Structures are given as structure tokens and as C-alpha cells.
């Protein structure tokens, strides 16, 4: 026995209507702006015509900053190397200061052991 008919709204969601501009309204005028990164990648994000266009955009392929001029893309940002706690201490204190602090700490340690 073959079934005919079935559920007419199967596969649709409640409130879904015909798709198209008449249902959603007209789209705003758009402009596709090219950006170029230092690796030679080009990306063209879309902006509303009346929107303020940013000077830089992150390249979606490599993550570097991209600019509007292909001949002179922005340089990659400098990444500062990771500094240890000791490196920061050495920036603030001289070797003589370090030796004096060490000697003071050792003297306190020796004095506490003598008690």
C-alpha cells in the first residue's frame, strides 16, 4: 500500500516564508575593498557603502595586518621574546645589588641556623 500526501511542512521551520528580497527588504549598497598583507595575500571584505572603511584589516590566511596599498603592505608586528622573571630582575638591579642582596640573605640564613 503506497502512502500519498504526507506532511506538507516537513523540512521547514515555523515562520519560514518565501526567501527573497521582497520578504527581507532590499540589501544595503556594498563595496568590496581590497587589502594586501606582507605575504602577498589579497582579501576583499565587503562593507556597507556608507560605512567608514578601516585602514588595516587582518589577513584571514596568515593573520598579518593588511593595508590598502599593494605596493607597500604594513610590516609584520615585532614579537618581543618571552622574558623570564630573572631577566626582569636583572633589568632593575645591577650585579653588585644582586651580590649584596644574596650576601644579606645568606647571612640571615646562617644566623637562623646558629640559634
85 annotated to a ligand binding site: no
Q: Is 87 annotated as a binding residue?
A: no
Write b or e for each residue in 50-76: b if 16 or more Cβ atoms lie within 10 A of its Cβ, otherwise e.
eeeeeeebebeeeebbbbbeeeebbee
Contact between 46 and 31 (Cβ < 8 Å)? yes
Is 41 annotated as ligand-binding?
yes
Is 110 among the annotated ligand-binding positions? no
Binding residues: 37, 41, 59, 62
Binding residues for Zn(2+): 37, 41, 59, 62
Amino acid at each position: 500500500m503506497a502512502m500519498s500526501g504526507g506532511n506538507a511542512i516537513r523540512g521547514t521551520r515555523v515562520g519560514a516564508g518565501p526567501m527573497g528580497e521582497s520578504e527581507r527588504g532590499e540589501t544595503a549598497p556594498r563595496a568590496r575593498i581590497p587589502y594586501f598583507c606582507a605575504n602577498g595575500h589579497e582579501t576583499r571584505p565587503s562593507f556597507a557603502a556608507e560605512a567608514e572603511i578601516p585602514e588595516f584589516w587582518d589577513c584571514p590566511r596568515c593573520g598579518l595586518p593588511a593595508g590598502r596599498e599593494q605596493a607597500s603592505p604594513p610590516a609584520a608586528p615585532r614579537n618581543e621574546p618571552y622574558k623570564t622573571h630573572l631577566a626582569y630582575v636583572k633589568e632593575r638591579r645591577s650585579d653588585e645589588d644582586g651580590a649584596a642582596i644574596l650576601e644579606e640573605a645568606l647571612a640571615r640564613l646562617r644566623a637562623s641556623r646558629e640559634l
